[in-house]
A and B are shown apart, each in its own frame.
Chain A
């Protein structure tokens, strides 16, 4: 095994790890995948240390160090399609189906995989909000209002903001926006349960991915990654509550007293 092929193999392994981590995979999956790919290409001495926002990967032969790489990967939105694709590819690499060059080309393709069309996402946010509003006890009219506010919420996130605001500002304003729509329509006489409408339409903001992953990382004893993800989830939840709270306080000041 010469240095050149070790480098090529670890290139592939680290790229696979990058994509997985950035797409919302669990830490142990990232470590396992890097390890599997490296060993499938005959590198036994590699060592990967993965945090929620970075990968450290080294390999050595005897006394000489052959490979070292540190990658910074910011927390970002879930891309479970990429997780699935990389998982499939790493299985195929283990079966010996791909040479390192091919595998790298595949990975670069996976990295460039397009998002679902934005209007699908906007529609899904509306439909999801409406369904959850119904589940939490809203009637048909409430669900329609929740559809509208969930729809506007993702329209705001994907078309108007496009990720230009900080996470904190995005979630406070998102929570405030849906509450504003719900309160406005409620006041105009559309919708019967204000609380159900708001609960349904804040669900698209709820940090389910980070929360679930945080628990699983902590269970796998990846405490640092787990606490960072849990902190992220708590912060987002707190911001949503703050956004909702702001508008409701304003509404009470204007309308006076409890009307809910």
Chain B
């Protein structure tokens, strides 16, 4: 071994995870086959709001292969109410959320009955044999109308408003009075933006297998949250927690969409328990789009106050947020996660946020990549461009005038957070260079001068986000139902190999590779000698799972803390083996060395000696295994500057992304290959919101684009080649100096693209185009005398 091994952290390691994924030796939930296993199919309501007046399942029960059919009435006594973990206000209204509807359906796609049969085909066939009588009820769809209680989803509540949540900087002592800022403003920019409803659209449809045989009831699920799911199933169904085991095997993407306790998981569990047999349910893509939770769906009314010199003085935010028909796991809290980010990277002095959470007869909304923060970032970054246009200022220059400068950190924001670090100047300067900002502005001017039918637009987004969810005390102060710590354990095997147990449950992020790199550096063992274990409550008993860009900034820090404990535990054994004092030892590159000598033992040698336990110091437990639970003191704050150039065909409305440059500052980088991959994928989802995707309902509440034929997930031809760069300002709030990267691309890119589209056609009188900026909407905006183009129809390619 060389004196100082090359650090693993920072290496572009090819992923450990990939070998089985590229050869098809995969363990998706739907692959699981158990002896005696029955297959489930679920009958779903075709209506958005109706009373169930009768269900006849007799025909289905006698169909080939069918072993059982259950309705909501059959399971009513045991199904409980699906959990909501975030009571954002004391008087928040949270109607009971049955897994199988009992007497009323509240959205199209809600589960009404379940068939268990020998094969999936037979189960599906038997749905035809179920006859449900419905009485139509008034359908509540439009968010503004719902907020006005014109018709109500829940007559017993008397209102569609679930909760109103407010933050006021004057009241909180974090800033001034926004009404005063508005009164005194020399310039006011007022806009209303719509965050359309989106579908997370993970590639692996949700699937669940439940085995009720054996001492623990075992649930395999395509979930992001095996640990939370175990707890919630136990609490919801009143099963002793130690009698439930949850396993997340290979999981094919989540993006927040699998951060849920689903009706399907509860139904599968209850049916398995009734039958005493294993069951499997795997949704079709159409079912997934109809019934798995959606994301975003907010109306943002924004008022930005500024002086004529460009100094922003305050921002007022009034949100309407569509909950859909029920409050799922964190539905109610998603807009609140955005509440702390509407000030972005800026240091204006007054801020007021109010959010009204509203029920409609649509599938519930909940986490989708970014969860609250993309909405906030879109709002402030669009408004900064609007202010720049109002004042005829360069949008980057206007931002620089208002942002927190690198020498002002740590910075207490008007929204009550403390940003620990950042360098917005450096990231922006690098992005300008990579983008050729000046050159593109020249070309833009030329195209305008010659009235080119294809106009060029430049969009800016300088963003930050809070991630590394989350300090438990902060979550407590927001009345969230759990903490935000993460757990890790390290097991030293007698041969010197290492098992790392993590509570963070990956579904594509590359934990096995990144955690191995970190542990290799910490313990001085080869990268190949580390095995990362996750996603099974039996082998990884404690954890709070994967979401909110938390795995590295919280979960990996727990791994570091556990590794430090291993070294501390090994040290007295090493001293004993070399007959020296502990104080004489230093640990580097996997060895305890007597300072100033060549005398050393490796950690592997210590592990073997501890295993044998023949000659150990008195009073020491023969065990190096260690665990740690890390609760962050603060969030981490990745930031970056994203620049987008779009060509907009003014004759067709077609938008083409010509170039996209992003410079992200995510602190120290563990694996640049993985980081770039996260950024690319994030950008794709943010761009998709800007240009392509929208869940569209007809007037009866039916989702009309419930398949990949009509819901425009971007393909390889719809996206540009991204140019990614980085600056590296380490986080000061964790020992790795990392910030998290899972959501950055999604959060930053949507406003960059929309700003670019508007910038291309602003000189034609366009001030806004509703997302997605489809060719039709862009064309209407250009040719509609500058009126914002809105439409109930989805995007067309």
Decide whether A and B are members of one complex. Answer: no
Chain B residues with a Cβ under 8 A of chain A: none
